[in-house]
Amino acid sequence: MSLRLGDVAPDFTADTTQGKINFHEWLGDSWGMLFSHPADFTPVCTTELGKTALLKGEFEKRGVKTIAVSVDDLESHNKWVPDIEEVNGVTMNFPIIADEERKVAELYDMIHPNASAKATVRSVFIIGPDKTIKLMLTYPASTGRNFTELLRVIDSLQLTANHSVATPADWKDGDDAIVVPSISTEDAIKKFPKGVKEVKPYLRYTPQPNK
């Protein structure tokens, strides 16, 4: 099954390092980041899970729950966790899904046979409180993810979900946003009291509305 932006994120029940969960119930009204790992006891994954644990406060500030998935079993995950904690100087503070039967991997199309017939690629799904997929990213197994970029994207998604703006290239939290084309400049001036700067009739900037 091929997932697309705006689709409802497939629900599932699974064992994790923090107990059995039903995914949609576990998400509740939060945003979520589900991200896959090729295998336990692999070097890149060890750094990525550690980084996520280190950034727990940043994800919480944005109302985002994080959850990882690997096609190894729960016993393997529990043996791996001490390595993650030791290498990164962290306490593992989010669950890892045990997906040895590849149910979650198949639901989310995380196995790409031309890359690896068995291991999952590095997929990332950002899911909104309405349980729909807001962002999908796929990295090869050899490339670790940029978690600063994932936080930046979440900032953009949350801003643009609540205000009539888009974010330009290389935007980061606090930068000016772009007024969406569906709003006239006249209406934009009324809607955005901090000001509107017109570069082109279709390209208008305004200070970030939620700052």
Catalytically active residues, by annotation: 45
Tokens of 96: 């890892």
Q: How far apart are CA 173 and CA 52, in angstroms?
A: 19
